[in-house]
Amino acid sequence: MRPTLFALSLFAALLAMPSAWAFQAYDTPSGRAQIIELEGEGYMVAIGNQVIPLNTYSRSYLSTRVGNYILVSISSGGVACPTTFAWLDTSAGNVRLSETFGTCAEGGEVTHADGILTVTMNSYNASEGNVAFDYDGKTITRRVLGLEESDIAKAAAGNPDAWIGESMHEFLTAAETEADLIAAFGWDDLDQLRNSTIVGSGGMEADGDWIVGSGCRPHMCNTDYGAFAIHRQTGSLLGALKSSGEKPRLIGEPVGALPAEIREVLIRN
């Protein structure tokens, strides 16, 4: 990327202004790379004699470095989608920022193989599982990886009590439990339950004959929420769902009296 008149003039201005704040930095083939904040202009990447605006007024970061590439974490300042990412190419004579990418997750795992940079993170859709964003130096490609295997699910096979104290969301999104969940709820209700309980309580708890947990949909906890239960003797699965504008409903086949968290969703106004 060749320096633009805007970039050069802005760079000269920020050097002269005490209101320009610099954060963590890397030495690169194109000069020192750092995130800077310029009053009235927001956050941007400064590298050598170039400045690349990030179009945000919220603090952003230089993250993982792989060779001449640096992962940039760009904060939106909002709660609906707090973070996106971009790759900064610091190669001499080729400085540029990739298109932005991400799932609104605030972090991911970075790997590098066969000339491809990959960032893997949770999808915003719980039923999609993990997604990977591959970068070949030119283009970002999104791949769906699906649900992860769960060590807890493997260890708990045939022993529902093993889930006491463990994550309800992990049960709902484990590759090993998906077939049983679909058999109990059907795909549509399972998908809704997963996404309506992402913001959950702590570990699941024992409640008489049941192991229970509950949660709500991110940013919609007042209107979209649910509960989930596993019968301790039979392994039967039960759920309750409430969505905005709809009456609460029970999914699955109850065995005996309903556990309290399921009942609470069904009677809550």
Q: Could you tell me which CATH class the domain 151-267 is placed in?
A: alpha beta
In the chain, the largest separation of any two C-alpha atoms, in whole Å, equals 74
pLDDT at 23: 61
Domain range annotation of the chain: 5-106, 151-267
Contacts 24+ apart (CB under 8 A), 13-17: 13/38, 14/38, 14/46, 14/51
pLDDT at 6: 42
pLDDT of residue 22 exceeding 60, the answer is no
CA 130 and chain centroid, separation? 9
20/123 Cα distance (integer angstroms): 35
- As a whole number, mean pLDDT of residues 256-264 equals 95
- As a whole number, mean pLDDT of residues 122-144 equals 95
Residue reference for tokens 């900064």: 88
Please tell me whether the overall predicted TM-score, pTM, comes out greater than 0.75 for this model: yes
pLDDT at 268: 84
229/212 Cα distance (integer angstroms): 4
pLDDT at 41: 85
